[in-house]
Amino acid sequence: MCQSCHVRALSTYRTAERNCRDTGEGAAGLTTHAPQASHTVTLPASLDEAVAALTAMPAAVPVAGGTDLMAAVNAGLLRPAGLVGLGRISEIRGWQYLDGHALLGAGLTLARMGRPDFAALIPGLAAAARAAGPPQIRNAGTLGGNIVTSAPTGDTLPVLAALEATLVIAGPEGSRREIPVSHLLTGREMLQPGELVGFVRVPLLHAPQTFLKATGRTGPGRATASVALVLDPARRNVRCAVGAVAAMPLRPLEAEQWVASLIDWDGERGLVPEALAAFGDYVAAACIPDPAPPQDGSEPAALPPAALHLRRTVAALARRALGRALS
């Protein structure tokens, strides 16, 4: 095995070039699927150094916990010419408070986000982090990786959509720009070459938030459907996002507005079971709509059984999520 390919800590920022072809030892240190690949591994100590490394090596890719990236490498889907490891960048591994917001580092692990102190701050995101995969995945996987992978089953994504979080993106020469997380998830705005997600800005709502997930199995598993729901008493808003049923989280805006209008924001905030059930159905029908009626005026096709089942699952999750938030 080529020991020279292993990622090593560098005391200061510098590039460690390890060309396995030159040594004739192969590249087994990174993946068994690319034995002839040449690997450049860089371990910067700051966000700006990481951006500089990516700018200098356009073919390199950033890697945080590696849970998604290495799965793609091992599946033969990706052959990165170089890696820029983000694991040593301490500035993105924690969070800070800023004007009623929390600025979360992209390098926060899912395990860290699941802890009680984080849950007291942003309970919906903590619940999603706790539900994401088995412990070894949560120990390594990061918030930034979950966002950039943008998998439909990414558990933090519906919560970030419901919170209307924004991303602070670090670019060349110390530049920073901020975009709504939904812009990245919908492909409306993309990361440019050399850019990294540095932080996630999340409003601190000081109100109940819930995240519920259905999986096709017992124990940790990818979501078949998930619902994030947050109350925003200051704006008298209910915000809801449904995950895993489409390529990106879906916001049932009409259902949100309808249910917010039913809530006595200055009083008990409770809703009768019929209203909770109606909200669940409203959300589910918005996210998994009936097939469009045919142009020729014939009977519309029925929703396939699998879609019907998914719709019922979403309805149940949304009803329970709202019930818990209001209880």
Ligand X SMILES: Cc1cc2nc3c(=O)[nH]c(=O)nc-3n(C[C@H](O)[C@H](O)[C@H](O)COP(=O)(O)OP(=O)(O)OC[C@H]3O[C@@H](n4cnc5c(N)ncnc54)[C@H](O)[C@@H]3O)c2cc1C
List residues near ligand X by CB under 6 A.
61-69, 71, 86, 106, 110, 132-133, 137, 140-142, 144-146, 148-149, 153-155, 196-197, 222
CB 153 to ligand X: min, Å: 6
Q: How far is CA 69 from CA 30, 31, 37, 114, 141, in A?
A: 12, 12, 16, 22, 10
> Which C-beta is closer to ligand X: that of 62 or that of 171?
62
Burial class (CB in 10 A: 0-12, 13-18, 19+), 134: exposed
> Which C-beta is closer to ligand X: that of 75 or that of 301?
75
Q: How many residues does the chain have?
A: 327
> Which C-beta is closer to ligand X: that of 197 or that of 231?
197
Burial class (CB in 10 A: 0-12, 13-18, 19+), 129: buried
Q: Looking up tokens 């903590």, which residue turns up?
A: 126
> Which C-beta is closer to ligand X: that of 137 or that of 207?
137
> Which C-beta is closer to ligand X: that of 68 or that of 256?
68
Residue nearest to ligand X (CB): 145
CB 215 to ligand X: min, Å: 8
* Per-residue three-class SS string for 226-243: EEEEEEECCCCEEEEEEE
CB 105 to ligand X: min, Å: 9
What one-letter code names the amino acid at 319? R
CB 3 to ligand X: min, Å: 22
What gap in Å lies between CA 75 and CA 124, rounded to an integer?
32
CB 110 to ligand X: min, Å: 6
Instruction: Give residues with Cβ within 8 angstroms of 107, minimum separation 6.
Output: 64, 86, 87, 89, 92, 93, 142, 143, 144
> Which C-beta is closer to ligand X: that of 242 or that of 263?
242
CB 185 to ligand X: min, Å: 13
